[in-house]
Amino acid sequence: MNQQHQDERARIREATDRLLAGQSTVSDGSLTVVALAAEAGVHRMALLKRHADLKNEFYERVRTETQQIPESEKRLRETVTKLRKTLANKEAELAQLRLQVTRLALASAVLTQKEGPSTEPDTAPDNIVPFRPPTA
């Protein structure tokens, strides 16, 4: 590791300590990666790419030391909850539509069924195809 890389890591660790202690100097003090990057004076992508282990360490310390769930995890949990509700609603709607299709198919069969054999030829137009061929 070069010196600049080691300096960044040291600044990130110091920023982690300040944020967890509630003594932020540069950021808004929220327990997020954005605030950590601002507090450490490094670009957020550098924190996410080059120092992913420190980001994970930060979130782990947030969970253990403050007994809080990180904001990103809260947002993900809310999204998962919304998606589960949406999925349940869609499954219920699909079940209703399947039931409706079955009922409509039965109703169509009843309506197209003739009461008995007829001796009269069908007078259907040429562009209509009967469901059942006429019985002769």
Whole-number Å distance between alpha carbons of 8 and 14 = 10
Q: Could you tell me the residue range of the domain that residue 85 belongs to?
A: 70-102
On whether residue 51 sits in a domain, the answer given is: yes
Global pTM reads 0.52
Is residue 55 within 8 Å of 48, Cβ to Cβ? yes
Residues 60 and 36 in one domain: yes
Residues 16 and 62 in one domain: yes
Residues 38 and 78 in one domain: no
Q: How far apart are the first and last CA of the chain?
A: 92
Q: What pLDDT, on a 0 to 100 scale, did the predictor assign at position 94?
A: 96
pLDDT at 22 > cutoff 70: yes
Residues 47 and 88 in one domain: no
Whole-number Å distance between alpha carbons of 54 and 14 = 11
Whole-number Å distance between alpha carbons of 129 and 98 = 25
Residues 34 and 78 in one domain: no
Query: Which percentage of the chain shows pLDDT scores above 90?
Result: 33
Is residue 8 within 8 Å of 42, Cβ to Cβ? yes
Q: Which two tokens stand for residue 34?
A: 């954005």
Residues 15 and 63 in one domain: yes
Residues 90 and 54 in one domain: no
Q: What pLDDT, on a 0 to 100 scale, did the predictor assign at position 67?
A: 78
On whether residue 111 sits in a domain, the answer given is: no
Q: How confident is the prediction for the chain on average, in pLDDT? A: 85
Our count of domains for the chain comes to 2
Residues 59 and 75 in one domain: no
Per-residue confidence at 24, pLDDT binned at 50, 70, 90? confident
Per-residue confidence at 29, pLDDT binned at 50, 70, 90? confident
Mean pLDDT of 57-81: 85
Q: What pLDDT, on a 0 to 100 scale, did the predictor assign at position 85?
A: 96
Whole-number Å distance between alpha carbons of 40 and 45 = 13
Q: What pLDDT, on a 0 to 100 scale, did the predictor assign at position 110?
A: 86
Residues 54 and 77 in one domain: no
**Angle value at C-alpha 93, between 100 and 85, nearest 5 degrees:** 165
pLDDT at 11 > cutoff 80: yes
Residues 7 and 59 in one domain: yes
pLDDT digits (tens, 9 = 90+) for 100-136: 999 999 988 888 886 555 555 556 677 776 677 666 6
Residues 64 and 11 in one domain: yes
